[in-house]
Structure 1
Amino acid sequence: MTQPPHDEPTAAGPDELREQVEQTREELGQTVEALAAKTDVKARAQEKAAEVKEQAALKAGELKAKAADLAHQVQDRLPDPVKDQAAQAARQARATAAQAGQLWEEKAPEPVRQKTAQGAQLARDNRKGLLAAAGVAVVVWLACRRRKG
């Protein structure tokens, strides 16, 4: 017969012994469950993937906010003549696009028009990002132009 560990009291009677056995079984079951969870590679990989996905989404949100802030700063620093030229160019581009759109509707095959419409909708849905990128491009272009001139 083995000796009980020094830190555990011995049972005084059969009821207490049964209680200790039940408690030991419960602890053993919890230990087995913990070991099984550690060896479940698929579940651990899924948990890690979810964690990484959440971190990526947070980082993307931060970067999007920074880009929007930068775009506002760029727009605030643009001189009024440049803003006016950009507005005029935008108006001309819209008029030209309307003419091209009419021609496109008349001449393009239906499947091509559907794909183009999907792309246009995507651009409209992400308008702020496109405007921010355009603003940054204008600032870079102006900076390069000033260095050469």
Structure 2
Amino acid sequence: MSEPSDDKHTTTNPDEMREQVERTRAELGETAQALADKADVKARAKDKGAEVKERTVEVAEQARQRTVEAAGHAKEKTAEVAEQAAAKAAELRTRAARAAHTVQDKVPDPVKDRAAQAADQVRDKAAQAGGVWQEKAPEPVRRQTAQGVRLARENRMLVLAVAGAAVVVWLVLRHRKG
């Protein structure tokens, strides 16, 4: 602030005194402004709020960037897993088709004829049961059944291979008993 007045430092020159007065006024003005800034709680709160807002925006942007990166990584992993699952499903379909052909090649013609007759009977009975089902089954149960049917249709070769193998096993067991 201002320096203490000593007889040694005082000047009698009017120009020097004016300079000293101007310096003292400037220092006093700065000191008064600093005190006013400290006393202005509203302005300080506003400044602090602006700082907090700025930091919040920065943190939110960083979080957004991390989220975008994580979503991209998850999308890549999901695509990778879906690709692997599709490859495995194709491999299983191929194996099931080979197994079905092997079973069909080994089954004698009379057994194939009986299986075709049984399949026709099953279709007829299934059509009858389907009519009754549509009339009496609750909606949630019908939805679940429709989903199961859709899956069976999508994996028809696998279902046919399993059904063919089951018929062969049944016929073999029946033949041994009789």
- 1:100 pairs with one of 104, 129, 137: 129
Which whole-Å deviations, capped at 9, do the CAs of 1:39-72 have from their partners, x for residues lacking one? xxxxxxxx99988886676455434323311210
- 2:112 pairs with one of 73, 79, 83: 83
Q: 1:147 to 1:49 in 2, by over 3 A?
A: farther
**Structure 2 match to 1:62:** 91
RMSD across aligned positions (CA): 3.1
Q: 1:118 to 1:74 in 2, by over 3 A?
A: same
Residues matched between the structures, number: 107
Q: Which runs of 5+ in 1 are unaligned?
A: 1-46
1:110 is aligned to 2:139: yes
Query: Would you say the 8 A contact 2:115–2:167 is kept in 1?
Result: no
- 2:167 pairs with one of 128, 135, 138: 138
Tell me the distance in 2 between the aligned counterparts of 1:104 and 1:58. 37
Tell me the distance in 2 between the aligned counterparts of 1:130 and 1:144. 21
1:71 is aligned to 2:105: no
Tell me the distance in 2 between the aligned counterparts of 1:102 and 1:90. 18
**Structure 2 match to 1:5:** none
**Structure 2 match to 1:128:** 157
Tell me the distance in 2 between the aligned counterparts of 1:82 and 1:107. 36
Q: Per chain length, whose mean CA-contact separation is higher, i.e. which structure has more relative contact order (CA < 8 Å, sep 6+)?
A: 1
TM-score by length of 2: 0.48
Larger Rg: 2
TM-score by length of 1: 0.56
